[in-house]
Amino acid sequence: MHPDEDQRLTSRQPFDQLVRIERNRFFTGENVPVHEIGQVLDISPLGMGVKTDSPLQPKEMVRVYLPVQAVDIPLPVFSEVRWVKAHNNYYRTGLQFMR
């Protein structure tokens, strides 16, 4: 069970999609936004679970670019990192969509 799983208002559905994640310069210490690729594992109307190679920081605000197949345009979705759990060679992260 993930730390916030028992606090979810809606259930997540399995979802398999690569996304681009734009990290905030404040959290990365870089002069330009840092982009990395994440693998969406599950999704709901309120958030999603992703797998990344490097850890995101709890409370970090990120922009996730979700591909829209019908028009071949990535849709930017602002999200807050709610929790991060390290695994053997990746990080599992819970994101909450910002409204």
Which sequence spans correspond to the domains of the chain?
5-97
Q: Which of 5, 95, 13, 1 is nearest to 49 (CA)?
A: 95
Sequence-distant contacts of 36-39: CB under 8 A, at least 24 apart: 38/64, 38/93
Where helices occur in the chain by DSSP H, the ranges are 25-28
Taking only the tens place, the pLDDT of each residue in 44-56 is: 999 999 999 999 9
Q: Is 28 strand, coil or helix? A: helix
What's the pTM value of the predicted model, to 2 decimals? 0.83
pLDDT at residue 31, rounded to an integer: 74
Pairwise CA distance, residues 51 & 46, whole Å: 17
- CATH number for the domain formed by residue range(s) 5-97: 2.40.10.220
Question: Across residues 60-81, what is the average pLDDT?
Answer: 91
Q: Decide: 79 and 60 in contact? Cβ < 8 Å.
A: no
Report the residue count for the chain: 99
